Amino acid sequence: MAVFTKPDFKSSTVKSKKKEIPEGLWTKCESCGEVLFNKELQDNQMVCKVCGHHFNIGGHDRLRFLLDPESFEEHDTNLIPVDVLKFTGATSYVDRLKTYQKKTGLNDAVVSGLGKIEGQAVSVAVMDFNFLAATMGSVVGEKIARAIERGTKKKIPVIVICASGGARMHEGMFSLMQMAKTSGALARHAKKGLPYIAVLTNPTMAGVMASFATLGDLIIAEPKAMIGFAGARVIKGTTQADLPKGFQTAEFLLDHGLIDMIVPRQQMRSTLAKTLGYLGGRHTHKS
Amino acid sequence: MEKIKVQPLEFEKPIVELEKMLDELEAHSKEHAVDITDEVAQLHQRIRETKQEIYSNLTPWQRVQIVRHPRRPFALDYLKLIATDFTELSGDRLFGNDRALIGGFATINDIKCLVLGQQKGRDTKENLMRNFGCAHPEGYRKALRLMRLADKFKLPIICLIDTPGAYPGVASEQRHVAEAIAVNIREMFQLQVPIIAVVLGEGGSGGALGIGIADKVLILENAYYSVISPEGCAAILWKDAKMAPQAAAALKMTSPDLKELGLVDDVIPEPPGGAHHDWEQAAESLKSAIVRHLEKLQKTDIEKLLDQRYDKFRAFGVFEEEEAAV
Ligand SMILES: [Zn+2]
């Protein structure tokens, strides 16, 4: 159903070194209030050295922290969201897209491609919460499905760094169907005996949770990430019940047996490398 | 001509008014022995025209009201009318038996199959038992258990979708409803039997999709299938749940919209004004659609069917793809 228009000469495969360092010299920790030196904060992968708060980071920053230097080859930068429903409402979808494209420099909420983690080739996709709360529209679903299929084709592990506020309502049922598309691609990937790891970051909710975020051979969360299906406000509104302490945090999910482990950002890369070492199965994915 | 027997909806008031006039006229003629044949005929004509006018121009919001009508037939009502046998099977073998999502063996037109269905209740007591058709994780896990049974014994699967959504509650989250839905979606791509999904009433988001991966996705004429409820969408995008009628239109969630967008394979016609006006006619319509598609699917090679199932959902999405330099 893809619509092919607007030919230009932008490459879909580019080496990316884009950095997203916050402007200014200092940043105040959103959690403990400590004033942090930006250079130090960056060196600590945007984690507060005092309280361990994990700041929200963009897709390219994430990949810089995760992948071997210079190993990332970006794909599918040429997919552009469209206002398929001509959504008429309180806000225009086209305007919202323009605003976020300008703000983030991305076409939509996923950065994806091929890279290496401690020498091991992986197909990777990162959801960027800064773009429309990483809601799942057609481009998000397509880029994730292609990243999975790329992993299947190249017989390498797939890693998806998840984050999402929910559905891309402006794309209606096309938004819902991305859950089907991505999960179907994972079924085929799994059938080949290939590993898939889902990393859940703050926040990962709704349709993303009810599809690829919970289908990992391993599911790893960042500390204190909010993770769930229905939003806390909806649950409270429906049930009129008080929510348990720490409800829908990564720690709560670990206690209830819903995820494998909680790993701080600075140890994510080594943890992925180590665990992938156990998931070779009948494939050799050292390159 | 059939008169409206069930509680009329707001937009049906003009029809009800005319029917009342007709009753009065007939009573008057009986009492005074006057010949009113012409007047009666004229009124019948007006009722027909008014019905036609209203029922053939239903707005998305009016359709939402129709599918939420308390007399609308639910999954078990249809099964009574379309199946010669229904043997219910219970439980997920892990936690409990979710009565919001039922399943079992059914025989439809001599075809033995496995049916799953989200089931609402008609009164308060029944709704407590059925949880208003909102399943917990154990409902989805029961569905998966039964689908695997169907896969093992090569029974085609019919999924009857009718839910406002999976239940949003603390227990639901603790037992991981998101995972239950995700696993169903993934596994349904691999079941080596034909699958037909029919949206009977409300196709509420992930809760609907949790039994919604199929070779053919059908929808009843007035049913909706949406990524979010119109009220939920209105609350978020308009900051006002009262804007639900506008949201219902903007979301393109009705059967004609979904057919046009290529998101459903077939629209199953309902009796004028909706299935609740005539259960038998609605059931007949549903049965013939299921049988027609099932007979076709059963002739298709299973490997081919699985590829087609994947390709169908893989293609859902609309975007621009800028031509890349080689
Ligand atoms: Zn801090």
List, for residues B207-217, the tens digit of each pLDDT value: 999 999 999 99
The verdict on B303 touching A (C-beta cutoff 8 Å) is no
Q: Is B254 helix (H, G, I), strand (E, B) or coil?
A: strand
Distance from Cα A63 to the centre of ligand 1, integer Å: 23
Size of interface A-B (CB pairs under 8 A): 227
Chosen for mutation from A91, A94, A179, A253 (greatest number of chain B CBs closer than 10 Å) is: A179
Phi, psi (rounded to 5 degrees) for A174: -60, -35
Distances (CA, A) of B164 to B68, B131, B254: 10, 11, 15
Average of per-residue pLDDT across B229-246: 93
The verdict on B181 touching A (C-beta cutoff 8 Å) is yes
CB distance A34 to A51 below 8 Å? yes
Query: Is there a contact between A187 and B187 if contact means CB atoms under 8 Å apart?
Result: yes
Q: Which amino acid is at B52?
A: Q
pLDDT at position A287 = 44
The verdict on B212 touching A (C-beta cutoff 8 Å) is yes
pLDDT at position A23 = 64
Q: Which residues of B are less than 8 Å from A6 in CB distance? A: 320, 322
List the single residue in B186, B190, B320 with the smallest CB-CB distance to A5: B320
Q: Which amino acid is at A30?
A: E
Q: Which amino acid is at A84?
A: V
pLDDT at position B31 = 82
pLDDT at position B88 = 98
Chosen for mutation from B185, B319, B323 (greatest number of chain A CBs closer than 10 Å) is: B319
- What A24-28 contacts at long range (C-beta under 8 Å, 24+ apart), as own/partner pairs, is A27/A55
Q: Whole-model pTM?
A: 0.93
List the single residue in B185, B318, B324 with the smallest CB-CB distance to A12: B324
Q: Which residues of B are less than 8 Å from A167 in CB distance? A: 205, 227-228
pLDDT at position A27 = 93
Mean pLDDT of chain A: 91
pLDDT of A176-186, one tens digit each?
A: 999 999 999 99
Per-residue exposure over B39-67, b if at least 16 CB sit within 10 Å of its own CB, e if not: beeebeeebeebbeebbeebebbbbbbbb
Instruction: Among A137-151, A220-234, B20-34, name the one with the lowest average pLDDT.
Output: B20-34
Chain B nearest CA to A25, separation (Å): 36
pLDDT at A204 over 90: yes
List the single residue in B185, B226, B319 with the smallest CB-CB distance to A2: B319
Q: Which residues of B are less than 8 Å from A78 in CB distance? A: 321-324
Instruction: Among A136-140, A283-287, B73-77, B221-225, name the one with the lowest average pLDDT.
Output: A283-287
List the single residue in A84, A142, A173 with the smallest CB-CB distance to B225: A173
The verdict on B68 touching A (C-beta cutoff 8 Å) is no
Q: Give the whole-angstrom CA distance, residue B56 versus residue B34.
A: 36
* Cβ contacts of B104 within 8 Å, gap of 6 or more: B86, B87, B88, B89, B114, B115, B146
* pLDDT higher at B322 or A264: A264
Chain A nearest CA to B11, separation (Å): 24
Query: Is there a contact between B316 and A6 if contact means CB atoms under 8 Å apart?
Result: no
Residues with CB under 5 A from ligand 1 (ion): A 29, 31-32, 34, 48, 50-51, 53
* pLDDT higher at B7 or B29: B7
Instruction: Report the percentage of chain B scoring pLDDT > 90.
Output: 90
pLDDT at B158 over 80: yes
pLDDT at B110 over 60: yes
* Cβ contacts of A141 within 8 Å, gap of 6 or more: A175, A177, A178, A179, A181, A182, B317
Scanning every residue of chain B, which has its alpha carbon at the shortest distance from the alpha carbon of A252? Answer: B174
CB distance B198 to B219 below 8 Å? yes
Distance from Cα A54 to the centre of ligand 1, integer Å: 8
Q: Is A233 helix (H, G, I), strand (E, B) or coil?
A: helix
Chosen for mutation from B173, B190, B209, B239 (greatest number of chain A CBs closer than 10 Å) is: B173
pLDDT at A107 over 60: yes
Interface of B with A in 158-177 (CB under 8 A): 166-170, 172-174, 176-177
The verdict on B311 touching A (C-beta cutoff 8 Å) is no
Q: What is the largest CA-CA distance in chain B?
A: 90
Distance from Cα A47 to the centre of ligand 1, integer Å: 8
Average of per-residue pLDDT across B303-321: 97
Mean pLDDT of chain B: 95
Task: Look at strands A158-164 and A120-127 and give their pairing.
Answer: parallel
Q: Which residues of A are less than 8 Å from B171 in CB distance? A: none
The verdict on B189 touching A (C-beta cutoff 8 Å) is yes
pLDDT at position B264 = 98
Q: Give the whole-angstrom CA distance, residue A147 versus residue B244.
A: 36
Q: Which residues of A are less than 8 Å from B262 in CB distance? A: 1
Distance from Cα A37 to the centre of ligand 1, integer Å: 12
Query: Is there a contact between B189 and A184 if contact means CB atoms under 8 Å apart?
Result: yes
Chain A nearest CA to B33, separation (Å): 58
List the single residue in B186, B316, B323 with the smallest CB-CB distance to A187: B186
Query: Is there a contact between A7 and B252 if contact means CB atoms under 8 Å apart?
Result: no
pLDDT at position A13 = 46
Chain A nearest CA to B191, separation (Å): 11
pLDDT at position A280 = 81
Q: Which residues of A are less than 8 Å from B237 in CB distance? A: 89-91, 169
Average of per-residue pLDDT across B308-321: 97
Q: Which residues are bridge partners to B172 per DSSP? A: none
Cβ neighbour number for residue B308 with a 10 Å cutoff:
13
pLDDT at position A21 = 53
Q: Give the whole-angstrom CA distance, residue B306 versus residue B214.
A: 10
Q: Which residues of B are less than 8 Å from A212 in CB distance? A: 182
